[in-house]
Chains A and B, each alone.
Chain A
Amino acid sequence: MPQRVTPDLMEHPRIRHQAWWIAGIYAVTATLWIYFSDQALESLIADPERLLEWSVYKGIGFVTVTAVLLLVLMRRAFASIEEGYASVGEEERRRRAREQEAEAERHFSETMIESMPGILYLYDATGRFLRWNRNFEEVSGYSGEELAHMTPMDLFGTEDQPRLQARIAEVFERGESSIEAPFLSKDGTTTPYFFTGQRVDFGGQECLVGVGIDVSKRVEAEAALRQLNESLERKVGERTHELREALVRAEAADRTKSAFLAAMSHELRTPLNSIIGFTGIVLQELAGPLTEEQEKQLRMVQRSARHLLSLINDVLDISKIEAGQLEVHSEPFDLPEVIRRAAETVLPVADARGLTLDLRIAPEVGVIEGDARRVEQVLLNLLSNGLKFTELGGVTVTARCVEECVRIQVADTGIGIRPDDLETLFQPFRQIDTGLTRAHEGTGLGLTICRRLTDLMGGQVSVTSAWGRGSEFSVTLPLNGTG
């Protein structure tokens, strides 16, 4: 509170001094006047009556002069006092105005501080709280008196105190800092708060003014988000795990299937080895001569056994293709040689049935990239089919290059295929014209295998046919393999 200023002119040392002087001079002057004027009158006037008269006049004159002087002096003195009082009033008014202004400012600050959503506090370098807002009391649960005897560290858990102390030191060293920490209230509950501290000069000493904001909503949202993330991650992990397990199971199933296929292949071929082998030996008459009837019947056994073998081979091939286990190689090979080899294989059949087998390989057809064995398998299939369904005429194989591919056509002069049957021709187990099935034994899988194999080699197989006049199968293979 500012010191009160009172302008007291009467007590001014200089003026006080003048008053003594004026009074002294007046006393001396008046005494001298009375003495010398009486002497002068006595010497001038002899008549005692007249002397008395003049004495009265002199006395009246003296009093008059004195009264005038007193009047002047008192006027001046009163004027000064009046002036003094006037200036005192002005000063007082100004003082009041200043106080009101300060009060308004204080009110504004107080309102601002109190209406702040967060907490506000001020403490000195020793940690003694000097100022705080009501919110601080409400949030902490401590009364103002309690807070006055506390330090900031009392409001945090022991585990948080070291880093808080570090930040507080930072404020006093560098001027400002901030930290997020759980604010510990009187009842033991904690609330996540974000604090910012600023170094200020307060009453001549370095203090810290701080603001704390409740960030529990944000922290909760973050926690929720984190939880959501974790749950998502967990779910993804679970799904991945399930998928991995499913994959492991699928792979195990796949391996089981492969093992089954291998076992099937072996188990089915082993007895067939005896059947086909001994039938062949007996038919070669290595074990002794046969009667015509025996040979005829044994040929039937042989044909059935070979059919059964091709059936097994085709089923295994289809299974392997379906399981993605059938791999095709991509190596350069001599296509004309493969065509000739396939033709040689079926030539005995053609000869036996009196059919022709013509090869027309264009000179530009040479080495291509692919799987020679599989190409041969496809060609053998198509050639056998052609011969199988032809009674008169024969089969013609043409090969030529078409752009970046080679096209091999296997045309026969056989029974042909009905337009309705062309659509299902390449589907498994669809050997058409069931009436002829017995005469044209086959598995019904050959064309399916042809199509899958050419697909695997990046090629195509297609068919055109005229019922009763023959069919033409066309295989197109890329010159440079599957790419």
Chain B
Amino acid sequence: MSAKILLIEDHEQNRYLVTFLLERHGYSVVSAAEGMRGIEMARSLSPDLILLDIQLPGMDGYQVARSIRELDNLRDTPVVAVTSHAMVGDRERALAAGCDEYIEKPIDPDTFVAQIEACLARAGSPPRPPDGAP
């Protein structure tokens, strides 16, 4: 069974990009366009990893991360902040809000998948299926 990844991202192109990339690398991806919906899906679907955009409309990524950390079924689920914020302290704020990893946008398909894989491996989630399997 392939790892299930929840993507919380408001930007449609980015959502399509990440979904496409990860699905083509064998992951199962579900996505939400805003924070509240993302939290609901996280609670009901218990994903293996959550990719979280920080700049979201309404509830921002930091708040979403904190809410997710309060959910019993997601206490140990890795949360990776993916953000085009690159100002002083962004990484620290994201980690303080409960994120495990911080990936700066723009993502590079050559390294992005490896980063996700490493994150999942640290959390002890099921590995992705052999490369290239749709």
Chain A residues in contact with chain B, CB under 8 A? 258, 261-262, 265-266, 269-270, 272-278, 280-281, 283-284, 286-287, 309, 313, 316, 320, 325-327
Instruction: Give the nearest-CB partner of B25 in chain A.
Output: A286
The answer to whether A286 and B106 have CB atoms under 8 Å apart is no
Asked if B108 CB lies within 8 Å of chain A CBs, one says yes
Which listed segment binds A: B29-37, B57-65, B80-88, B121-129?
B80-88
The answer to whether B86 and A316 have CB atoms under 8 Å apart is yes
A405 to B106 Cα, complex, angstroms: 36
The answer to whether A276 and B85 have CB atoms under 8 Å apart is no
- A286 contacts which chain B residues (CB < 8 A)? 20-21, 24-25
What is the minimal beta-carbon distance from A303 to any residue of chain B, in angstroms?
A: 12
The answer to whether A276 and B87 have CB atoms under 8 Å apart is no
A276 to B14 Cα, complex, angstroms: 11
The answer to whether B107 and A270 have CB atoms under 8 Å apart is no
Sample (29) of A-B pairs whose CB atoms are under 8 Å apart: A258-B87, A261-B87, A262-B87, A265-B84, A265-B85, A266-B55, A269-B104, A270-B84, A272-B105, A273-B17, A273-B106, A274-B106, A275-B106, A276-B106, A276-B108, A276-B109, A277-B18, A277-B108, A280-B109, A281-B17, A281-B20, A281-B21, A281-B109, A286-B21, A286-B24, A287-B20, A309-B106, A316-B86, A320-B88
Instruction: Give the nearest-CB partner of B17 in chain A.
Output: A277
The answer to whether A273 and B105 have CB atoms under 8 Å apart is yes
The answer to whether A269 and B17 have CB atoms under 8 Å apart is no
- B14 contacts which chain A residues (CB < 8 A)? 270, 273-274, 277
What is the minimal beta-carbon distance from A72 to any residue of chain B, in angstroms?
A: 142
A130 to B88 Cα, complex, angstroms: 89
The answer to whether A327 and B88 have CB atoms under 8 Å apart is yes
* 13 further contact pairs, Cβ within 8 A, besides A269-B86, A274-B17, A281-B21: A262-B87, A265-B85, A269-B104, A272-B105, A273-B13, A273-B105, A280-B109, A280-B110, A281-B109, A286-B24, A313-B86, A325-B88, A327-B89
What is the minimal beta-carbon distance from A209 to any residue of chain B, in angstroms?
A: 81
What is the minimal beta-carbon distance from A462 to any residue of chain B, in angstroms?
A: 27
- B109 contacts which chain A residues (CB < 8 A)? 276-277, 280-281, 283-284
Chain B residues in contact with chain A, CB under 8 A? 11, 13-14, 17-18, 20-21, 24-25, 55, 84-89, 104-110
- A281 contacts which chain B residues (CB < 8 A)? 17, 20-21, 24, 109
Instruction: Give the nearest-CB partner of B113 in chain A.
Output: A284
- A325 contacts which chain B residues (CB < 8 A)? 87-88
Instruction: Give the nearest-CB partner of A258 in chain B.
Output: B87
Instruction: Give the nearest-CB partner of B13 in chain A.
Output: A274
- A287 contacts which chain B residues (CB < 8 A)? 20
- With most chain A CB atoms within 10 A of its CB, the pick from B13, B86, B106 is B106
Instruction: Give the nearest-CB partner of A268 in chain B.
Output: B84
- A270 contacts which chain B residues (CB < 8 A)? 11, 14, 84, 105
A314 to B55 Cα, complex, angstroms: 22
What is the minimal beta-carbon distance from A233 to any residue of chain B, in angstroms?
A: 40
Return the contact of A266 from the options B85, B88, B110 (Cβ within 8 A).
B85
What is the minimal beta-carbon distance from A382 to any residue of chain B, in angstroms?
A: 21
Return the contact of A269 from the options B24, B88, B105, B108 (Cβ within 8 A).
B105
A57 to B89 Cα, complex, angstroms: 166
Which 3 interchain pairs have the tightest Cβ spacing?
A280-B109, A273-B106, A269-B84
- A283 contacts which chain B residues (CB < 8 A)? 109
A258 to B85 Cα, complex, angstroms: 12
The answer to whether A277 and B85 have CB atoms under 8 Å apart is no
What is the minimal beta-carbon distance from B1 to any residue of chain A, in angstroms?
A: 22
- Contacts known (A274-B13, A286-B20); A280 close to B87, Cβ less than 8 A: no
Instruction: Give the nearest-CB partner of B82 in chain A.
Output: A273
A107 to B104 Cα, complex, angstroms: 106
- A266 contacts which chain B residues (CB < 8 A)? 55, 84-85
Instruction: Give the nearest-CB partner of A308 in chain B.
Output: B106
Instruction: Give the nearest-CB partner of B55 in chain A.
Output: A266
The answer to whether B107 and A276 have CB atoms under 8 Å apart is yes
A287 to B17 Cα, complex, angstroms: 11
- B18 contacts which chain A residues (CB < 8 A)? 277
What is the minimal beta-carbon distance from A346 to any residue of chain B, in angstroms?
A: 14
- With most chain A CB atoms within 10 A of its CB, the pick from B25, B85, B86 is B86
A326 to B87 Cα, complex, angstroms: 9
A265 to B110 Cα, complex, angstroms: 22
Return the contact of A273 from the options B84, B86, B87, B89 (Cβ within 8 A).
B84
What is the minimal beta-carbon distance from A278 to any residue of chain B, in angstroms?
A: 6
A283 to B110 Cα, complex, angstroms: 10
A262 to B24 Cα, complex, angstroms: 32
The answer to whether B87 and A277 have CB atoms under 8 Å apart is no
A313 to B86 Cα, complex, angstroms: 9
What is the minimal beta-carbon distance from B119 to any residue of chain A, in angstroms?
A: 18
What is the minimal beta-carbon distance from A347 to any residue of chain B, in angstroms?
A: 14
What is the minimal beta-carbon distance from B68 to any residue of chain A, in angstroms?
A: 22
The answer to whether A277 and B88 have CB atoms under 8 Å apart is no
A325 to B109 Cα, complex, angstroms: 30
- A280 contacts which chain B residues (CB < 8 A)? 21, 108-110
- B21 contacts which chain A residues (CB < 8 A)? 277, 280-281, 286
A327 to B24 Cα, complex, angstroms: 39
A225 to B18 Cα, complex, angstroms: 76
The answer to whether A326 and B84 have CB atoms under 8 Å apart is no
A262 to B83 Cα, complex, angstroms: 12
A309 to B106 Cα, complex, angstroms: 8
Instruction: Give the nearest-CB partner of A329 in chain B.
Output: B92
What is the minimal beta-carbon distance from B93 to any residue of chain A, in angstroms?
A: 12
What is the minimal beta-carbon distance from B100 to any residue of chain A, in angstroms?
A: 17
Instruction: Give the nearest-CB partner of A262 in chain B.
Output: B87
